[in-house]
Amino acid sequence: MAFPNLVLLFKLFSFLLLFRSTQSKLSADYYNKTCPKFQNIMQTILAEKQLSAPTTAAATLRVFFHDCFVNGCDSSMLIASNGFNKSERDANVNLSVAGDAFDLITRVKTALELECPGVVSCSDILAVSARDLVVMVGGPFYEVVLGRKDSRESNPSIVDKNLPKALTPMNELLSLFSSKGFSAEEMVALVGAHTIGFSHCKEFANRIFNFSKTSEFDPAYNPVFVQGLRKLCANYTKSPAMSAFNDVYTPGKFDNMYYKNLQKGLGLLSSDQAMVTDNRTKPFVDRFAANETAFFDMFARSMEKLSVYKVKENNDGDVRRRCDQFNTLQV
């Protein structure tokens, strides 16, 4: 007599497994029923913030990249330190990230919590913000699937080894990107995000002051450009906030001018300029400089790929109530 009950239990168990599997799949319409105003709310706040603070797009794109590359796209980069623990934000490479990105995420999360509390993850907010801001400043649209969960840890000790630096040699850059599943072409396309934003003088000071025994500055620089940088950054040690636009011609527009600049010796960072001299990356720099559509297409595909890198789903993470704090105190 118990046999029918076992069949019923088996069917119920199978249904629950199927339901869990279905729920775990990332999809573009993940919030259509649970938070139908998600996209509208985001669009409104993103537009307002970008208009009032034009550095927001570049800052958010940088936070997104730094978040995903360290331990997956899980918003661990958004966590603020407390009296018990330091977070990824405290890693040296993240100290110069502009605060506009964090302010934006806070504004979006606050509005979404009022509309649909406990539904939208910070990881999804960050991923969509990066995409929409790229589009707002002239870049390509690409699909962002949704359903990520937020991490329960943020460890500053693992940041440095997972992120490229201004002085990272090309061999190490290619190896780092490869370890995360990205080709040389995809790397060159992703670094093209430097077409917007700025870099602090300390990031390239070694190229413009006391470069070598035979030259005050890196001869790879355009000579007129480097003289301007030397004047701009003359007091950078006393004023560490001093910075220069990554793209001197169209700093606020997402386009392929960044690659054209590299060809002319107008690349700020050593790691960027190296891409135009290394045979493994130069063909892609040249192609993207000559064809903006080719750059946009590869950037979009690479960002789609990056946006799902090691994401957390279901019980592997939470939906934080605040993006800068874990739901439970970490001690």
Mark the binding-site residues for heme b, compressed into ranges: 194
> Residues at the annotated binding site for Ca(2+)?
67, 70, 72, 74, 76, 88, 195, 247, 250, 255
Beta bridge pairs of residue 182: none
3-state secondary structure of 312: strand
The residue assigned the tokens 């707002």 is 136
Helix (H) or strand (E) holding 132: helix 122-136
Beta bridge pairs of residue 312: 149
If one counts every other C-beta atom within 10 angstroms of the C-beta of residue 37, the result is 13
> Residues at the annotated binding site for substrate?
164
In terms of C-beta density within 10 A (0-12 exposed, 13-18 middle, 19 or more buried), how is residue 13 classed?
exposed
Determine whether 200 is an active site residue. no
| CB contact at 8 A, 61 and 55 | no
| CB contact at 8 A, 163 and 93 | yes
Choosing from 62, 66, 260, 312, the catalytic residue is 66
The residue assigned the tokens 């934000």 is 89
Helix (H) or strand (E) holding 290: helix 282-290
Q: Which pair of structure tokens corresponds to residue 111?
A: 């509005």
CA pair distance 302, 55, nearest whole angstrom: 23
> Residues at the annotated binding site?
67, 70, 72, 74, 76, 88, 164, 194-195, 247, 250, 255
CA pair distance 78, 103, nearest whole angstrom: 10
In terms of C-beta density within 10 A (0-12 exposed, 13-18 middle, 19 or more buried), how is residue 81 classed?
middle
3-state DSSP percent of the chain in helix, strand and coil, to 5 = 55, 5, 40
Which are the catalytic amino acids? 66
